[in-house]
Chain A
Amino acid sequence: MLAIGNNRSGVSRWISLALAIVVFLMSLTLWAGFDASIAAMQFVENTPWISYFNINYHIGVDGISMPLIILTTFSTVIVIIAGWEVIKNRVAEYMAAFLIMEGVIIGVFSSLDAILFYVFWEASLIPMLLIVGIWGGQNRVYAAIKFFLYTFLGSVFMLVSLIYMYNQGGSFSLAALNTLPLSLTEQSWIFWAFFLAFAVKVPMFPVHTWLPDAHVQAPTGGSVILAAIMLKMGGYGFFRLSLPITPDASSEFATIVIALSLIAIVYIGFVALVQKDMKKLIAYSSISHMGFVTLGLFALFSIVEMNSDGQIVGALEGAYLGLEGAMIQMISHGFISAAMFLVVGVLYDRLHSREISTYGGVINSMPKFTGFAVLFSLANAGLPGTSGFVGEFMVILGSLQANFWFAFLAAMTLIIGAAYTLWMVKRVFWGPVTNSDISSLSDINARELFILATLAFAVLLLGIYPQPLVEVMHLSIVNLLEQALTTKLPVPL
């Protein structure tokens, strides 16, 4: 891609679009060939990579990672189309950065070797750093460097704990780490090291402060990838590493994580309410929605537990609801936040302002666009029938079995979320036309219509008929739940 250079931007656009679509179709074959009746990893490739450390190029997918990979390839196609005319500066490099990013993130979701995972995990920072730094807004340098250092600091501790476990068990393979016996003290240290890495990425309260900056400064495509996929890497990390490797510590500290998730859901929701900048508002709403993911994950320890005979006691259904709700929430948030950022992007391209107060009465000049914008906003607020509802509802139902108050506070978001999203919609789209710029706005063109319509279709499909997704992941979730509940501590005699 870099070889094409910046002079022939048309060529690079088409090539990258073609590549992105091919990769997307290839990832669909993963879905088609996926066997939902087994919990084990599928499409496994395993070749020695660094033999001295026993590191292997070991990749494969299961029901948890496969939907996320498809989300990644889908979002890349969307982003490339979204950047079609908007990016005029250094087009080839822009497209190349997104394609590299796509490859690296697929790597994160399919690695079955901890070092391979770490390498992809860190490598994903590089294209994002450049995307925010080169094509970002006014304050892009600050945002890019803050983003990089924040996430870098979060993940180095993960590296140290991975090395520690390698020295204990002699392997970096995730399967081996999952069965590595660790004392509660060791698990606690490792849990917090992982927590730091993943919580920064999710991001959870109180390590979320990089996100609004990065989102606001990033170009639309960057925000979409950041919200739709990079945040999911954090959630995925909890699924893939924290729960199976440190089950006892996860159970030990679940209450803290749940508390932080609830703070994120409620407090950040209120923070979103007072934002003047649309992108910032959506960024805070992302944090609030991602709180559901961590809540659904860690609520399971309050719902079920394994007694001393190795029997699982408690309402298993509730735990499934929580975990699957968390997964669906990740996928659905991928679509919705992508759509919301694109909506802001569309407005920004026209008036170069993200301030809510600049707008008003947009519906008068952009009726089609407003239709989509309102649909996505309702989905963001969790309207039944959209994908936003399914995930949140499942998590709330699941946590209801853990503790009434968890569910109560989580359900508050349906009110707060509706408040900040709909209030924004009211101020931006309805009401009288505030200035002459608004009345001269042109409605969305075919390209914008296409991407918004695709996303709207995905949001509605997932909202009305989420069953196929649930089926695909169900066995992997069962498997994960078993690992998360199997204690690694020596059985007391």
Chain B
Amino acid sequence: MMDYQFNIADLCFAVPELFLLGAISVILLLDLFVSERFQNLTYYLTLATLAVTGYFAVGLIGESRVIFDGTFVLDSVASTFKVFIVGFSVVAMIYSRYYLRVHNLLKGEYFVLVLLSVLGMMVMASAHSLLTVYLGLEIMSLSLYTMIAIARDRAVAVEAALKYFVLGAIASGLLLYGMSMIYGVTGNLNIAEIASFAMISSLTSEQILILNFGLVFLVIGVAFKFGAVPFHMWIPDVYHGAPTSVTMFLSTVPKIAATAMLVRLLIDGLGEFQAYWADLFMVLAILSIAVGAVVALMQTNIKRMLAYSTISHVGFVLLGFVTGAVEGYGAAAFYVLAYVLMSLAAFGCIIALNKKGFEADKISDFKGLSKGSPWFALIMLVVMLSMAGVPPFIGFYSKLFILQQVVSAGYIYLAIAAVIFAVISAYYYLQIIKAMYFDDLQKDLKVSASMDIRLVLSINGILIFVVGLMPSYWMELAISLF
């Protein structure tokens, strides 16, 4: 590490992150001095910051290089993921503001924390050293813990934050432990160097053993961030306890970052050990799909239900990585992005129903929505059917893509098990449709949200349908990432 190279021209390849960091500092300071009357200022500055960051990130698409002495990489995965992270965060912000305002949680810190966690995710997407991975992960996670606790007078929220923090810290510890083993064998933190050292043919059996140990811990760390069974225990409680806008953020964008972490550590770093980690993921994936489908059947709280549904979706994502083929990874990336789009819309619908003192977090709270606001009921219907994997919505194509890859990798039994659980999970998505359309037709439930959220939610819903009709471009994009 003596010959540390620093090239000032490299900075321009990290412009999105640097700009975001600068803007965060400015907004944080500014927020101290703005009075209550201008509290919207922070919000609009945040949106503007994200827009500019997104603009810079789009400008860097197509660049490919490793900078900062091999700790930071810019490739197609990094630049594309960054654009999606920023883009989806904008949508999440727009949904969040309404919720925060209704429940008197609107504070400048909230937006700063969102921006910080976005920064962490972008660092994760570009990480090219074990250290950078960890750095990005912790920036993201610490902001998320705090965001949950922002509703500090709600006992469930504080409990959720604490639970997430304690379990998250243990997972980080395990991840670090695994990293230390890998460092011990390879003598390097740089992911490219690790990859070139960890060629199975040139290693002794002891080295392979220790690397395998490290690998298991890395997989645990990744699985925790995804929330794959059996590392899913935090998900239902945290989703349930956190304010809905935080739940929405938590269940969407960080999954893209977790995918990036998986790609960096396991595909870029230990790609040679694919056969070892694929076996682990196979178990995690099928358990997640099963538990997510079966346990969700019993839920009456929609946030808890969506928590288990997330677990089930994560299982499908991991199935894509089991295949060990470039197309399989592409399928997984496509699935993650499709899932985030659907999940945003689902939480958007919940938030749009919120009123003062009304959280709309029970399934029965949706009763009569089709009567009062048929358009938003239709969007929720589309989202639910899409999550269940019914064509012609995007959720079907993401499942088709994954299943096609799984079958082509020869795991036809995995595919059959996955579709059986997909049918089981259809039942609880139907429960929402039942509440909206079939129950209590006399009651009128109207969406009370403001215009901006209505507009974005409509676009979000239409995208689920339109991308479902023309998924070709996005599928090819996803494959071209790897």
Contact of A156 among B375, B419, B430, B470 (CB under 8 A): B419
B362 sits at the interface (CB 8 A): no
**Which of chain A's residues has its CB closest to B410's CB?**
A167
Q: Once the chains bind, are B438 and A140 in contact (CB under 8 Å)?
A: yes
In the complex, chain B residues 412-429 whose Cβ is within 8 Å of any chain A Cβ: 412, 415-416, 419-420, 422-423, 426-427
- A:1-43 near B, CB below 8 Å: 2
Give residues of chain A (124-139) contacting chain B, Cβ–Cβ below 8 Å: 125-126, 129-130, 133-134
| Residues of chain A within 8 A of B408, CB atoms compared | 163, 167
| Known contacts A2-B378, A133-B437, A152-B426: A160-B407 contact under CB 8 Å | yes
Asked if residues B479 and A52 are in contact (CB atoms below 8 Å), the reply is yes
Interface residue? B403 (CB, 8 A):
yes
Q: Which stretch from B9-17, B27-35, B259-267, B389-397 is at the chain A interface? A: B389-397
Choose the segment among A141-149, A269-277, A368-376, A429-437 that binds chain B (4+ C-beta atoms closer than 8 Å).
A141-149
* Bound: A125/B426 CA distance, A: 13
In the bound complex, residues from chain A placing their C-beta under 8 Å from that of B476 are 51-52
- A141 nearest in chain B by CB position: B438
| Inter-chain contact A163/B434, CB cutoff 8 Å | no
Query: Do the beta carbons of B391 and A50 come within 8 Å of each other?
Result: no
Q: A93-B374, A123-B390, A156-B420 are in contact. Are A163 and B396 (CB under 8 A)?
A: no
> Is B359's CB within 8 Å of the partner chain A?
no
Q: Which residues, 54 to 93 on A, are CB-close (under 8 Å) to B?
A: 89, 93
B396 touches A52 (CB 8 A): no
For B434, the closest partner residue in chain A by CB is: A141
Inter-chain contacts of B392 with A (CB < 8 A)? 119, 123
Contacting pair A167 B437 (CB below 8 A): no
- A49 at the B interface (CB under 8 A): yes
Chain A positions 163-203 with a Cβ under 8 Å from a chain B Cβ:
163-164, 166-167
Residues of A within 8 A of B441 (CB): 89, 134
Enumerate A96-145 residues with CB–CB distance to B below 8 Å. Answer: 115, 118-119, 122-123, 125-126, 129-130, 133-134, 140-141, 144-145
Residues from 437 to 466 in B contacting A, C-beta threshold 8 Å: 437-439, 441
- Provide the bound-state CA to CA distance between A453 and B393, in Å: 40
**Residues of chain A lying within 8 A (CB to CB) of residue B283:** none
- Check: A451 CB closer than 8 A to any chain B CB: no
The minimal Cβ–Cβ distance linking B188 to chain A, given in whole angstroms, is 37
- Given contacts A50-B475, A52-B472, A160-B407, whether A148 and B430 have CB atoms under 8 Å apart is yes
Q: Is the CB of A119 within 8 A of B396?
A: yes
Q: Report yes or no: A163 in contact with B423, Cβ–Cβ below 8 A.
A: no
Assess whether B433 is interfacial by the CB under 8 Å rule.
yes
Main secondary structure of the interface of A (DSSP, over half): helix
- Bound Cα distance A134, B475 (Å): 36
Please state if A149 and B437 are interface contacts (CB–CB under 8 Å).
Answer: no
Contact of B403 among A89, A125, A144, A159 (CB under 8 A): A159
Q: How far is the CB of B428 from chain A (nearest CB, A)?
A: 11
Decide yes or no whether A267 CB sits under 8 A from chain B. Answer: no
Instruction: Say whether A461 faces chain B, with CB atoms less than 8 Å apart.
Output: no
Give residues 462-482 of B contacting A (CB, 8 Å): 470-472, 475-476, 479
Contact indicator B423/A153 (Cβ below 8 Å): yes
Listed in ascending order, the chain B residues whose CB lies under 8 Å from chain A are 370, 374-375, 378, 385, 390-392, 396-397, 400, 403-404, 407-408, 412, 415-416, 419-420, 422-423, 426-427, 430, 433-434, 437-439, 441, 470-472, 475-476, 479
A52-B479, A53-B475, A166-B404 known; 4 new pairs, CB 8 Å cut-off, are A52-B476, A141-B434, A144-B438, A145-B427
State the A residues within 8 Å of B (CB): 2, 48-53, 89, 93, 115, 118-119, 122-123, 125-126, 129-130, 133-134, 140-141, 144-145, 148-149, 152-153, 156-157, 159-160, 163-164, 166-167
- 8 tightest Cβ-Cβ pairs between the two chains A and B: A156-B419, A119-B391, A133-B438, A167-B408, A50-B472, A153-B423, A122-B391, A163-B407
Q: List 27 A-B contacts (CB under 8 A).
A: A2-B375, A49-B470, A51-B476, A52-B475, A53-B400, A53-B404, A93-B374, A123-B391, A140-B438, A144-B434, A144-B438, A145-B430, A148-B430, A149-B423, A149-B430, A152-B390, A152-B423, A153-B420, A156-B419, A156-B420, A157-B416, A159-B403, A160-B407, A160-B419, A163-B400, A163-B408, A164-B412
